[in-house]
Amino acid sequence: MALANLASGVRRSSNQRRDQRIDCLGAPALIITLVPLLVVAEQGREWGWGSGRSLVSYITGAVGLVLFLPAERRAGDDALLPLRPFRNRMFTLGTAQSFIIGIGMFGGITLLPLCLQLVKGNSPTKAGLLTLPLVLGIMLLSLVSGQITSRSGRYKLFPVIGCVLLAAGLLML
């Protein structure tokens, strides 16, 4: 029931055939947004994060984003990233929360093996095996929370608990 409310802002698919348009403006704008940021992510240590080349990459990415949003609005339902679901407050909050949690999890999952290798002196293989409980815990609790959500329809508690546990774990780390 609650999941149906979450999806209310998302268009239901239909079996009717309709012509599709290619998002010819959105695709290049997305490339202009992402490629310079990926390049600076790769070369930032060598160039310097505040160097001229890095600043040009940041500005180019920002310009691409400014071009991308109107292009997606103009493309409507045929956009690479349709903007209509973002009108739903629950979808927008969930997406923002998932983005922030993803940053924390990616950082933690990436940092932990490096910490185990560089600080504790473990081999890469042993560091990977030491992170196995973390990965198994994520997998098991994802399955359990998914089952509880599908049976009860309640989902709001799990992201809150996950955020608290993620923050506590990273602070303890």
Hey, where are the domains in the chain? Answer: 1-9+20-86, 88-173
Query: Helices (DSSP H) in 89-172: which residue ranges?
Result: 89-118, 124-130, 132-152, 157-172
The pTM for the full model equals 0.58
Mean pLDDT by 10 residues, the chain (173 residues): 50 69 87 94 90 94 94 86 87 86 82 90 93 88 90 85 82 80
pLDDT at 12 (0 to 100): 61
Tell me which residue has tokens 């990436």. Answer: 110
* Whole-angstrom distance, CA of residue 133 vs CA of residue 129: 8
How does pLDDT run across 88-127, given as a tens digit for each residue? 998 898 888 888 888 888 887 888 899 899 999 999 999 9
* Whole-angstrom distance, CA of residue 49 vs CA of residue 53: 9
